[in-house]
A and B are shown apart, each in its own frame.
Chain A
Amino acid sequence: MQEYLSTFIGSIFVENMIFAYFLGMCSYLAVSKNVKTAMGLGIAVAFVLTVTLPVNYLLENHVLKAGALSWLGDQFDSVNLSFLSFIIFIAVIASVVQIIEMILEKFMPALYNSLGIFLPLIAVNCAIMGGSLFMQQKDFANVGIATTYALGSGIGWLLAIIGIAAIREKLQYSDIPKPLKGLGMAFILTALMGFGFMSFSGIKI
């Protein structure tokens, strides 16, 4: 139980996708001009991350890894398909996004209309691919921990984008040097928030 909790808290604060690794910055910068749309994108990212990462975890451990196919029989012991992992991961992510898009369109048109424009963007969001790649590197013990990690990272990303959107809304009233307006200031703000989040790095549960 403790392992789940520490993975969860750790992935939200300590290893925040935005502030520690700067993953998913493209859409983070493009869609953080107001809180409402930022929230929409954040929720969509968190959701897709939580769905795709466990799927990729299972594929990684039962199909792709060296020796992962041994459940098919002893002769498959030496098969190593890890060179396919990038393609499989991105294919899973793209298809999950596609399926979610279709389901939402059919059953929840209101939500689809508010999220619709972001969904195709999500397939190429670095945070989601990054989640799967970190999963591969960290070698989680079981699928439960991997899911917890995915959920935590998603929530961390959501927090980050809401935070910056809220600040950027207020920023319209500040007197910023002209060349720094917009993108430049967003970078500096993210850096400062990143420094803030670094203070979480001592947390151990």
Chain B
Amino acid sequence: MNKDSNIYTLIYASVMVILVALILAYTSETLRPQQAKNEAIDKMRQILTSINVESTNANAEELYDKLIVDTYLINSQGNKVDGNAFAVELTEELRKPIEERNYPVLVADIEGSLKYVLSLRGAGLWGPLWGFISLDDDKKTIYGASFGHAGETPGLGAEIEKPFFAQAFIGKRIFNQEGTFTSVAIVKPGRTVQGKDYVDGISGGTITGQGVDAMLFSGLEAYKPFLTKE
């Protein structure tokens, strides 16, 4: 058989493509449930971190089911709407016009008092940032936080993932004395800012810090109608 004939080449290519596609489709189908589970557990652990609960891959699901007592979506007026708050992709929502966006709210029960977990998205130096902020039952004071990033500089911007950064947010207030929304500012270590609560940024990770600052402001502002509602 002539290896260089057109027909041979064509048949060879088609058989190969079909075979490869079948193998890949099979692998991906077999492994998909496991992958989806990993992603869900990862998200649960971030949410648990934001309510100051430590978890492992093994017990995350159990803790999540125990502590998160209610989940719902809110629209841009702060009214509850139906939907799956855990599965909602905030990135997708933020592409829609403001009136059509839905934001997830997860309600956690920590020893009898309710905490509200809000979801945030933003951009850092190299790529997307995300985070979960939990508020006390007054809906004004931060109870806990967790942050994640896709690819900030290791050792600098990437430090926002570390517990020490997230824990600095505990107890900060996102509304000032007069009740106006101020968010929490990220400042260069050693600096201060007037009129609102602030947290030290990471030295050397200024742009990432600005990204977190902007993410907090715009992200929490979106929840403002919900937070100020009685």
* Chain A residue contacts of B21, Cβ below 8 A: 84
For the complex, count residues of B whose C-beta is within 8 A of A: 16
| Chain A neighbourhood of B150, CB < 8 A | 137
**B24 to A87, Cβ gap below 8 A?**
yes
Residues in A with CB closer than 8 Å to B127 are 137-138
Contacting pair A84 B24 (CB below 8 A): yes
Any A CB within 8 A of the CB of B20: yes
| 9 new A-B contacts at CB < 8 Å, known A14-B125, A137-B127, A138-B127 | A83-B24, A83-B27, A84-B21, A84-B24, A87-B24, A137-B150, A139-B128, A201-B125, A201-B153
List the 10 closest pairs (A to B, CB-CB), nearest first: A83-B28, A83-B24, A138-B127, A201-B125, A84-B24, A202-B207, A137-B150, A137-B127, A87-B20, A201-B207
Question: B126 an interface residue at 8 Å Cβ cutoff?
Answer: yes
A60 at the interface (CB under 8 A from B): no
Q: Give which listed residue, A15, A87, A202, contacts B126 with CB less than 8 A.
A: A15
List A contacts of B25 (CB < 8 A): 83
Residue of B nearest to A84 (CB): B24
Any B CB within 8 A of the CB of A178: no
> Considering the complex, which residues of chain B in the window 1-57 have a beta carbon less than 8 Å from any beta carbon of chain A?
20-21, 24-25, 27-28
How many interface contacts (CB-CB < 8 Å) are there between A and B? 22
Cβ of B91 < 8 Å from any Cβ of A? yes
CA distance A137 to B153 in the complex (A): 16
A137 to B150, CA, bound (A): 9
Complexed CA–CA distance, A57 and B121 (Å): 23
Beta-carbon contact of A139 and B27 below 8 Å: no
A202 to B150: give the CA distance in the assembly, Å: 18
Provide a sorted-by-A list of 10 A–B residue pairs whose CB atoms are within 8 angstroms: A15-B126, A83-B24, A83-B25, A83-B28, A84-B21, A87-B20, A87-B24, A138-B127, A201-B125, A202-B207
B228 CB to closest chain A CB (Å) equals 31
A204 at the interface (CB under 8 A from B): yes
Interface residues in A, total, Cβ within 8 A: 12
B20 closest partner in A (C-beta): A87
B206 at the interface (CB under 8 A from A): yes
Residues from chain B with Cβ under 8 Å of A137 in the complex = 127, 150
| Whole-angstrom distance between the Cβ of B58 and the nearest chain A Cβ | 27
User: Which residues of chain A (75-110) have a CB below 8 Å from chain B?
Assistant: 83-84, 87
Q: How far is the CA of A58 from the CA of B144 in the complex (A)?
A: 40
Query: Measured between alpha carbons, how far is A141 from B95 in the docked complex, in Å?
Result: 9
Complexed CA–CA distance, A202 and B95 (Å): 27
Knowing A87-B20, A139-B91, say if A202 contacts B28 (CB, 8 Å): no
Contact B28 A204 (CB under 8 A): no
Q: Measured between C-beta atoms, what is the minimum distance from A46 to chain B in Å?
A: 22
Contact A202 B206 (CB under 8 A): yes
From B126, which residue of chain A is reached at the shortest CB distance? A15
A window 38-84: CB within 8 A of B: 83-84
Bits for A2-19, please: 1 = Cβ < 8 Å to B, else 0. 000000000000110000
Residues of A within 8 A of B206 (CB): 202
Whose C-beta in chain A lies nearest to the C-beta of B206? A202
Give the Cβ gap from A111 to chain B, nearest Cβ, in Å.
28
Nearest residue, chain B, Cβ from A15: B126
Contact with A along B115-159 (1 / 0, CB 8 A): 000000000011110000000000000000000001001000000
| CB-CB nearest in chain A for B95 | A141
Residues of B contacting A83 in the complex (Cβ-Cβ under 8 angstroms): 24-25, 27-28
CB neighbours of B20 from chain A (8 A): 87
CA distance A178 to B211 in the complex (A): 47
Return chain A residues, CB-CB under 8 Å to B207. Answer: 201-202, 204
With A and B bound together, what is the CA distance between A202 and B125 in angstroms? 9
**With the chains together, A14 CA to B126 CA distance in Å?**
9
